[in-house]
Amino acid sequence: MSEATHGASRAGKDNPMKEVRVVKVTINIGVGESAEKLVKAEKVLELVTGKKPIRTISKATNKDLGIRLDQPIGAKVTLRGKTAEEFMTKAIWTKDNKLAGYSFDQDGNFSFGVPEYTDMPGMKYDPNVGIFGFDVCVVLGRRGDRITKRSRTRAKVGRTHKLNPTITKQFITEKFKIELIE
Protein backbone atom coordinates (compact mmCIF):
# COMPACT_ATOMS: atom_id res chain seq x y z
CA MET A 1 0.00 0.00 0.00
CA SER A 2 1.42 3.37 -0.95
CA GLU A 3 1.82 6.17 1.58
CA ALA A 4 -0.82 8.32 -0.13
CA THR A 5 -3.42 5.54 -0.02
CA HIS A 6 -2.54 4.65 3.56
CA GLY A 7 -2.86 8.28 4.67
CA ALA A 8 -6.21 8.72 2.91
CA SER A 9 -7.72 5.76 4.74
CA ARG A 10 -6.62 7.24 8.06
CA ALA A 11 -8.40 10.53 7.33
CA GLY A 12 -11.68 9.02 8.50
CA LYS A 13 -13.63 9.29 5.26
CA ASP A 14 -13.48 5.59 4.38
CA ASN A 15 -13.05 4.14 7.83
CA PRO A 16 -16.43 3.25 9.42
CA MET A 17 -14.78 3.15 12.87
CA LYS A 18 -14.05 6.88 12.61
CA GLU A 19 -17.70 7.88 12.05
CA VAL A 20 -19.05 10.13 14.77
CA ARG A 21 -22.50 9.12 16.02
CA VAL A 22 -25.03 10.05 18.67
CA VAL A 23 -24.64 7.43 21.40
CA LYS A 24 -27.39 8.64 23.73
CA VAL A 25 -29.48 11.64 24.71
CA THR A 26 -30.44 12.12 28.36
CA ILE A 27 -33.31 14.44 29.31
CA ASN A 28 -33.26 15.53 32.95
CA ILE A 29 -35.48 17.61 35.25
CA GLY A 30 -34.20 18.35 38.74
CA VAL A 31 -36.82 19.60 41.20
CA GLY A 32 -35.01 19.18 44.54
CA GLU A 33 -37.90 17.57 46.38
CA SER A 34 -39.86 14.35 46.33
CA ALA A 35 -43.37 15.71 46.55
CA GLU A 36 -46.06 16.62 44.01
CA LYS A 37 -43.59 18.67 41.98
CA LEU A 38 -41.57 15.52 41.16
CA VAL A 39 -44.68 13.70 39.94
CA LYS A 40 -45.47 16.65 37.64
CA ALA A 41 -41.89 16.66 36.33
CA GLU A 42 -42.20 12.93 35.53
CA LYS A 43 -45.43 13.64 33.67
CA VAL A 44 -43.68 16.35 31.60
CA LEU A 45 -40.87 13.97 30.66
CA GLU A 46 -43.38 11.32 29.65
CA LEU A 47 -45.28 13.86 27.52
CA VAL A 48 -42.15 15.13 25.79
CA THR A 49 -40.37 11.82 25.16
CA GLY A 50 -43.10 9.20 25.18
CA LYS A 51 -40.98 7.06 27.55
CA LYS A 52 -41.39 6.31 31.24
CA PRO A 53 -38.90 8.35 33.31
CA ILE A 54 -36.87 7.07 36.24
CA ARG A 55 -36.20 9.00 39.42
CA THR A 56 -32.80 10.39 40.29
CA ILE A 57 -31.68 9.99 43.88
CA SER A 58 -29.62 12.41 46.00
CA LYS A 59 -26.12 11.21 46.82
CA ALA A 60 -25.48 13.50 49.78
CA THR A 61 -27.29 15.35 52.54
CA ASN A 62 -27.59 19.12 52.22
CA LYS A 63 -29.31 20.73 55.22
CA ASP A 64 -29.39 24.19 53.60
CA LEU A 65 -31.48 22.87 50.69
CA GLY A 66 -33.45 20.40 52.83
CA ILE A 67 -32.19 17.35 50.91
CA ARG A 68 -31.55 14.02 52.63
CA LEU A 69 -29.38 11.15 51.44
CA ASP A 70 -31.17 8.73 49.04
CA GLN A 71 -34.12 11.09 48.58
CA PRO A 72 -35.67 11.31 45.07
CA ILE A 73 -34.92 14.82 43.73
CA GLY A 74 -35.45 14.58 39.97
CA ALA A 75 -36.33 12.46 36.97
CA LYS A 76 -34.61 11.51 33.73
CA VAL A 77 -35.13 9.64 30.47
CA THR A 78 -32.36 8.17 28.32
CA LEU A 79 -32.92 7.78 24.58
CA ARG A 80 -30.71 5.88 22.15
CA GLY A 81 -30.58 5.30 18.41
CA LYS A 82 -32.96 6.98 15.97
CA THR A 83 -35.29 8.26 18.71
CA ALA A 84 -32.34 10.03 20.33
CA GLU A 85 -31.40 11.82 17.10
CA GLU A 86 -35.02 12.80 16.40
CA PHE A 87 -35.51 14.18 19.90
CA MET A 88 -32.21 16.07 19.75
CA THR A 89 -33.17 17.80 16.48
CA LYS A 90 -36.54 18.83 17.95
CA ALA A 91 -34.92 20.14 21.12
CA ILE A 92 -32.27 22.11 19.23
CA TRP A 93 -35.02 23.54 17.02
CA THR A 94 -36.44 25.22 20.16
CA LYS A 95 -33.08 27.02 20.45
CA ASP A 96 -33.39 28.28 16.82
CA ASN A 97 -30.76 25.74 15.70
CA LYS A 98 -28.04 27.59 17.61
CA LEU A 99 -25.69 26.28 20.29
CA ALA A 100 -23.15 28.13 22.38
CA GLY A 101 -19.51 27.09 22.12
CA TYR A 102 -19.23 26.66 25.90
CA SER A 103 -21.86 23.88 25.79
CA PHE A 104 -19.18 21.37 24.68
CA ASP A 105 -16.92 19.46 27.06
CA GLN A 106 -13.40 18.13 26.43
CA ASP A 107 -14.71 14.71 25.29
CA GLY A 108 -16.89 16.28 22.60
CA ASN A 109 -20.24 15.85 24.38
CA PHE A 110 -22.58 18.80 24.74
CA SER A 111 -25.62 19.87 26.72
CA PHE A 112 -28.18 22.65 26.67
CA GLY A 113 -31.38 23.64 28.41
CA VAL A 114 -34.93 24.09 27.15
CA PRO A 115 -36.64 26.71 29.36
CA GLU A 116 -40.24 25.50 28.85
CA TYR A 117 -41.55 22.17 27.65
CA THR A 118 -44.27 24.01 25.71
CA ASP A 119 -41.55 25.24 23.31
CA MET A 120 -41.24 21.70 21.93
CA PRO A 121 -43.21 21.02 18.72
CA GLY A 122 -46.64 19.55 19.39
CA MET A 123 -46.67 20.36 23.13
CA LYS A 124 -49.48 22.39 24.67
CA TYR A 125 -49.69 23.97 28.10
CA ASP A 126 -51.37 21.80 30.70
CA PRO A 127 -52.59 23.81 33.73
CA ASN A 128 -52.49 20.67 35.91
CA VAL A 129 -48.74 20.32 35.29
CA GLY A 130 -47.51 23.90 35.13
CA ILE A 131 -44.33 25.04 33.41
CA PHE A 132 -41.14 22.99 33.56
CA GLY A 133 -37.87 23.26 31.72
CA PHE A 134 -35.41 20.46 31.19
CA ASP A 135 -31.78 19.79 30.38
CA VAL A 136 -30.67 17.81 27.33
CA CYS A 137 -27.28 16.07 27.46
CA VAL A 138 -25.97 14.53 24.22
CA VAL A 139 -23.18 11.94 24.28
CA LEU A 140 -21.30 11.47 21.03
CA GLY A 141 -18.87 8.69 20.25
CA ARG A 142 -17.31 6.41 17.71
CA ARG A 143 -17.57 2.69 17.25
CA GLY A 144 -15.19 0.91 19.60
CA ASP A 145 -15.54 3.34 22.51
CA ARG A 146 -17.14 0.58 24.56
CA ILE A 147 -13.73 -0.92 25.38
CA THR A 148 -13.17 1.83 27.95
CA LYS A 149 -16.40 0.99 29.81
CA ARG A 150 -16.76 -2.79 29.62
CA SER A 151 -16.06 -4.81 32.75
CA ARG A 152 -14.02 -7.55 31.11
CA THR A 153 -10.68 -6.78 29.44
CA ARG A 154 -11.00 -3.02 29.74
CA ALA A 155 -8.62 -1.09 27.48
CA LYS A 156 -7.77 2.44 26.43
CA VAL A 157 -8.85 4.23 23.26
CA GLY A 158 -6.08 5.59 21.07
CA ARG A 159 -5.41 9.31 20.84
CA THR A 160 -6.52 9.53 17.20
CA HIS A 161 -9.78 7.71 17.96
CA LYS A 162 -10.91 10.01 20.80
CA LEU A 163 -13.34 12.84 20.16
CA ASN A 164 -12.62 16.46 20.96
CA PRO A 165 -14.73 19.63 20.72
CA THR A 166 -13.38 20.54 17.28
CA ILE A 167 -14.43 17.23 15.70
CA THR A 168 -17.78 17.31 17.48
CA LYS A 169 -18.57 20.87 16.41
CA GLN A 170 -17.78 20.02 12.80
CA PHE A 171 -20.02 16.92 12.96
CA ILE A 172 -22.92 18.85 14.53
CA THR A 173 -22.79 21.69 12.01
CA GLU A 174 -22.59 19.34 9.00
CA LYS A 175 -25.14 16.69 9.99
CA PHE A 176 -27.74 18.71 11.92
CA LYS A 177 -27.22 22.17 10.31
CA ILE A 178 -26.63 23.86 13.65
CA GLU A 179 -25.05 27.29 13.98
CA LEU A 180 -22.41 27.61 16.68
CA ILE A 181 -22.11 30.82 18.68
CA GLU A 182 -18.64 31.33 20.14
C-alpha torsion sign, points 101, 103, 109, 111: negative
For residue 11, what pLDDT is reported?
54
For residue 70, what pLDDT is reported?
86
For the entire predicted model, the pTM comes to 0.84
For residue 1, what pLDDT is reported?
47
- Which sequence spans correspond to the domains of the chain? 17-181
Q: Does domain 17-181 have CATH number 3.40.50.2000?
A: no
d(CA 92, CA 94): 5
For residue 3, what pLDDT is reported?
46
Measured distance between the N- and C-terminal CA atoms of the chain, rounded to whole angstroms: 42
Residues in the chain predicted with pLDDT less than 70, given as ranges, are: 1-13
Strand partners, 28: 76, 135
For residue 39, what pLDDT is reported?
94
